[in-house]
Structure 1
């Protein structure tokens, strides 16, 4: 949410301000989900490749991150998490 200190920004940007704000929130949420997925994999001693790590950290699709997280809960190998998505 834009601070009240800059109300003129909202007046200048109009609906774009809301879209920009929502996009920033979604990116932040995806970043947090990715961090938790990587933490879960590390805590379960599931080794992932650098390309798999980059795939996770660059993913902005919350549904995909959730699917990977759910698989990681029971996975013993990275191939069980990433399958053929």
Structure 2
């Protein structure tokens, strides 16, 4: 694909990029590809949930110790991260997340 794109004129490349980002939605055909694309999406959601939780705690002025930070960043359960984020909205300390 890189060679094809490199061979295109600047105008054609620009038009192709527009098409790819606005109207074209590629659907992976193989189970292998679908599995790993889904896994990547899940990992991205988890990373965003971790970041959101830490930002809420920071915004509220709650100091997060190393042990708690490790537990949060090591968590891969999106439901648990969302639960902790809801608790972080009213928490007084990092300990309130896990209670």
TM over 0.5: yes
The root-mean-square deviation of aligned C-alpha atoms, in Å, is: 1.3
Higher relative contact order (CA 8 A, sep 6+): 1
In structure 1, the gaps of 5 or more residues are: none
TM-score (norm 1): 0.79
With the length of structure 2 as denominator, give the TM-score of the two structures.
0.69
Runs of 4+ in 1 over 3 A off after TM superposition: none
> How many residues get paired?
73
Deviations 1:1-22 (A, max 9, x none): xxxx4xxxx66xx201101000
Structure of greater Rg = 2
1:74 deviates by: 0.2
